[in-house]
Structure 1
Amino acid sequence: MQGLCNSTTKPQQVPCKSHFGGSDEMSLTNGWTGADARMLQDALRLSQEAFAEYLDVHPRTVGYWHQKPSSRPKSEIQQMLDTALDRAPADVQARFAELQGTSTSPAATEAAPVKAATEAEQRLASDPNVVAALDWLDERGTREPGTARRAVASRLTQIDVNSLRDRGSRRGRVDQRTVAQALADYYGRGSSGYGRYAARFGDVEADTSVFTRSDWLDLNCPLIATHDRLKLMRAAGAAPVSLDEEAFDQAVQRLAESLALGIRFVNMPLYRLLGVDMRRESLGGTVGISSFVEYIVTMDLLEGELVDALAGGVQAGELPLRDRYLPDLDTVLDVGGRLTAGGTLALCAFARPADPFRGPADYVLLVQERSGHVINAARRLAVIPKGFHQPLVDFRADAQVGATMRREMEEELFGRHDIDNTVGDQRSADPMYPSRLSEPMRWLLGEPGRLRMECTGFGLNLVSGNFEFPSLIVVEDEEFWQRYGGQIEANWETANLRQYSSADAELVEELASDEAWSNEGLFALLQGLRRLSEIGGSRVNVPTIEWEIR
């Protein structure tokens, strides 16, 4: 780049990586975050709009970096940021280094861990979400106030961040099939019609950790009020969770690691399942209210404990938290007797017209690789959207599964950052009011029949005991993709977004055999494809899917 942008000179655009050679000398070793990108913008002394033009990205992307500093830009934008920094003038690089605190001087190098530790200590004292988690641990662990805070502070001094990152790499090598088999060994076979979901898809044999039964599958339930009828019980009370010494210690470790890595979470309300009444074309049952911090320091710990054991991080067979929270299949099915959180996830299928280059009319199928910053299924394949079932503002109406599904579409596909509760507080009286919707969602809801959403099944995931509502979202009008296909862009929860054609049987079969799937993601993919084959007509050419209960 030659010089800086001013108000009368259009900045030179950053070429994509494929258009140039050169060094990555100034690139960030651990990749860019939204906060890093903002620092580069500040070092260049550009407005948000000018910085977006400078990088040749949408202004909404730059705005999101300001709203979500911990977000990780996509790989191609990471490369563009690397190049922008590498080719920036020396004075810009110096300002960026000063803002980053990454000067090559020994003093700055020694100060970096001190700065990180200071931030962690500040959050420990003042972050209301961390404080809520600490208070909950003291209360449920029947300990004196301040005990959890002191324990986390002590643990922070012992943490090696590089070791945590190495552990993350080891976890990523444990594939879906290994997890499913380990849980099959732990729990054994189901009885009374219950068992683990498995399926044959062409030459693919899939086995999952989703515990279900035949009348919970192929529900084909429209996600509208007359069929989508989960009910909120306001007097349900708190989830029956108590903490022994081992559970308290692991919860403290989880919080200390989150602080050391700079991971942020928001203590929002979360639906917990109390009762189940699922049948064809009808979702029934009851839910109560829990909180996100309760989940992340209890049931969410089970996945990491299991994967660490399988990766060799701890001795195989030593699963004390699982032995406490989810020891057998009776406990799995007793959803009201434990903290049973969960969510919704959907296979999206958008109709496309025939194309002389691509081929016949089909559906675009979207699949995501989850980022390393999400609370579960990190770095795994999943359908999109995927989210926890939780209220936004109307606790009773939002208990419908379809309410979460529409919200997740807005957030994860159509760029509605204002309904992402990890970004900021929710102050709108009705965030899903028609005038606030994104343009693609307004079009979909503008006329009946444009948006088809169905729940394709229900199950309880043995990984953490979560409930799962796999769904299918179908847009049959080709006009939508022609108008808005270019506006669909995944949010920070996605590291990469892939598209597949419903007419490409070979590639879709290969997709289903990928070992990188999360268990719930594979469950949703197979159930969604099974239903799409029934209703998609000539647009769909995939092998027959036959499920069984094991």
Structure 2
Amino acid sequence: MVSVRRRKELVSARKAAGLTQENLAGVMGVDRTTVIRWEAGDYAPLPYQWPKLAKVLGRTADELRELIGLHPPNGTAELGSALEPAFGWLDRHAGWSPGTARGRVAIAASVKPHSDAPVGRSRVAAALANYYSDSVPGHVLYAARCGQVEVATSVLTRPDWLDLACPLTAENDRIVLSANENAAREPVDEVGAVRRLAEAAADDVRIADVPLYRLTDVQIRPEMVGGDVHVVPFVEYALSMDLLERELHHSRAVQPGRMPLRDRYLPDLQAVLDLPGRLCAGGVLALTAIARPADPFRGEADYLLLVQERSRHVVNAARRLAVIPKSFHGPLADQRADARIGATLRRELEEELFGRGDVDRTTGVQRAADPMHPARLSAPMRWLTDQPGRLRMECTGFGFNLVSGNYEVASLVVIEDEEFWPRFGGDVEANWEAAGLRQYSTLDGDLITELIGDETWSNEGLFAFLQGLRRLSEIGGERVRIPAVELGR
């Protein structure tokens, strides 16, 4: 909490800069309610926002920290606030006395972490294919070819889980919330959890105390994406299954018996597919394609494809390429209604592309009873949903990513009405999860083929990108001139 004196100083600093709450919210790319909460002392700006906020208010970074009582990410005060839910969870599940996790993480965070460059995507896929030398009938690792570029991924799928073209409507989108009874709990690796939290403090990674959907059953058909989910704390996933990605990148030998966490959590493909027996979290990610009219400089009518370079602040796939939006599947307000895939996808369009900071689940307590009520939608989303046919959302594929066992729901978002880009193109901007945003035209087949071979892709991102391209080639007509994406055999 921020003191009364400092709350008044923050308000004074904003007014001295000649800004209303609405002005400051617009400049910072957040909702006005976020600024209200800063000034009410409900929560402080997150560290990644400090440099921009300091500049807007005409203060140095040190002056801003003093103004509202902030501390650098590696300071003990920051450890005690931003990561406090994770400390409490670890203390309870490791059987430690309160405060033990915080102290151990503070010690670990005082050592400068070794920052590794991301391992090439194909090396990750090959290492996991070697580790999982067993096979399960009907399941394959996703692979594809586009032109002369061939790629293999770490996504375990089935032929009948691909090319679904399943509209994410109420009739077809059938993931449902079930009672969370007798749910399997993952054992805690205390050393790995402490190291993970120290890295999170160093890199300002957000590990929020929010609910997450874990998958316990799945039924996939061309006309339906269905299954059962339970709710678990995000921190439980972050300090268990998510540790597998870091172990993979730091292991000298990716072999059974040489990777303690993987040997414990996901020793074989049967364990990967044993959904009731493990914590299977995951997410929704979509290739976004926006119809654009012909342009005298750009050329013929096309689709704009958006690809993000992931920030180092995200929990997984940091500093890798991915489609956008990409999110963990979890409830925003209504745990039952939000279990549907389309609910997460619409929320993430609002947050990751249309600037709705108030639907960012990592920023604090949700106060709106219905954050996705039509009256609260952004102008672009309201326009898209005003008339049928402007927005198409489909599931294009499903699989399990062997990196951490996550389920991945690959999707395609197509904005069909080419009036959208001239009207709202200036409003499309990636949020904090992206370090950069790239755009490609569906008329530039050579560039897209080259992009497919980029080694900085995340495996799940490439899976969604390729499945989206296959579907877009079927429905896009003359707007799409891309070499055929053929599935591997």
Q: Which interval holds the TM-score relative to the shorter structure?
A: 0.7 to 0.9
1:140 equivalent in alignment to 2:93: yes
Identify the match of residue 17 of structure 2 among 36, 42, 46.
Answer: 46
Q: What's the Cα RMSD here?
A: 3.2
Q: Give the unaligned 5+ runs of structure 1.
A: 1-37, 103-111
CA apart distance, 1:156: 2.0
The alpha-carbon distance between structure 1 residues 260 and 373, as it changes in their structure 2 partners (threshold 3 A), is closer
Distance 1:344 1:499 in 2: 20
> What is the one-letter code of the residue matched to 1:510?
E
Q: Deviations over 1:400-442 (max 9, x none)?
A: 1001000000110111111111122111111111111001111
Secondary structure at the aligned position of 1:429 is classed as coil
Pair 1:515 & 2:465 matched: no
> Structure 1 residue aligned with 2:269, among 326, 329, 335?
329
Provide TM-score, normalisation by structure 1.
0.78
Q: Does 1:347 align with 2:323?
A: no
Which position in structure 2 is the counterpart of 1:9? Answer: none
Q: Where does residue 4 of structure 2 map in the other structure? A: none
> Which residue of 234, 239, 251 corresponds with 1:297?
239
Alignment partner for residue 45 of structure 2, among 64, 69, 81? Answer: 69
The 10-residue stretch of structure 1 (518-527 or 280-289) with the greater mean CA deviation from structure 2: 280-289
Asked whether the equivalents of residues 204 and 313 of structure 2 are also in contact (C-alpha less than 8 Å), the reply is no
Give the match for residue 186 of structure 2. Answer: 241
Equivalent residues, number: 469
* Cα deviation, residue 46, structure 1: 1.2
Identity value in percent: 53
Relative to structure 2, which stretch is displaced further, 504-513 or 262-271? 262-271
- What is the deviation of 1:289? 1.1
Which of 352, 358, 374 aligns to 1:434? It is 374
The CA deviation string for residues 470-524 of structure 1, in whole angstroms up to 9 with x for no partner, is 0001111111112111111111111101110011101111111111100000000
Tell me, yes or no, if the aligned pair for 2:86 and 2:207 is still in contact at 8 Å. Answer: no
| Match among 77, 85, 88 for residue 119 of structure 1 | 77
Q: Distance in 1 between matches of 2:310 and 2:270?
A: 31
The one of 173, 180, 199 equivalent to 2:125 is 180
Q: Who is 2:218 aligned against?
A: 276
Residues 280 and 117 from structure 1, CA distance in 2 versus in 1: closer, same or farther, beyond 3 angstroms? same
Check the 8 A contact 2:29/2:355 in 1, yes or no: no
> 1:47 & 1:113 partners in 2: Cα distance?
26
For residues 403 and 266 of structure 2, the distance between their equivalents in structure 1, rounded to whole angstroms, comes to 9
Measured after TM superposition, the shift of residue 240 of structure 1 is: 2.7
Q: Quick check: which has more Rg, 1 or 2?
A: 1
TM-score by length of 2: 0.87
For the residues of structure 2 that align with 1:528 and 1:113, how far apart are their CA atoms? 43
Change in 2 beyond 3 A, CA 1:328/1:421: same
Q: Which runs of 5+ in 2 are unaligned?
A: 1-8, 39-43
Contact 2:210 2:362 in 1 (8 A): no
Which amino acid in 1 is paired with 2:86? A
The 10-residue stretch of structure 1 (181-190 or 506-515) with the greater mean CA deviation from structure 2:
181-190
Q: 2:194 maps to which residue?
A: 252
Q: Taking structure 1 as reference, are residues 134 and 158 closer, same or farther at Cα in structure 2, changes over 3 Å only?
A: closer
- Contact preservation (8 Å) 1:156, 1:260: no
The reply on whether 1:99 has 2:63 as its aligned counterpart is: yes
Distance 1:47 1:465 in 2: 50
- Inter-partner Cα distance in structure 2 for 1:301 and 1:48: 43
Indicate the residue corresponding to 2:400 in structure 1: 460
* Equivalence for 2:333: 393
Which aligned runs of 4 or more in structure 1 are off by greater than 4 angstroms? 41-45, 49-53, 62-68, 112-116, 314-317
Q: Of residues 465, 488, 492 in structure 1, which corresponds to 2:432? A: 492
Q: Aligned to 1:447, which of 387, 400, 405?
A: 387
CA distance, structure 1, for counterparts of residue 73 and residue 167 of structure 2: 51
**Which one-letter code corresponds to 2:75 in the other structure?**
A
* 3-state SS in 1 of match to 2:75: helix
Q: Is 1:524 matched up with 2:464?
A: yes
Quote the Cα distance in structure 2 between the aligned partners of 1:97 and 1:287: 43
Deviation of the 1:257 alpha carbon: 3.4
- Report the Cα distance in structure 1 between the residues aligned to 2:306 and 2:161, rounded to whole angstroms: 25
Q: For residue 160 of structure 2, what is the amino acid of its counterpart?
A: D
Provide the residue aligned with 1:203 in structure 2: 148
**Is 2:315 the partner of 1:375?**
yes
Counterpart-to-counterpart distance in 2, 1:60 and 1:159: 29
Q: What is the DSSP-based 3-state SS (H/G/I as helix, E as strand, rest coil) of the residue aligned with 1:284?
A: strand
1:299-314 counterparts in 2 under 5 A? Answer: 299-309=241-251
Do the aligned partners of 2:283 and 2:408 also contact (CA within 8 Å) in 1?
yes
* 8 A contact 1:197–1:210 mirrored in 2: yes
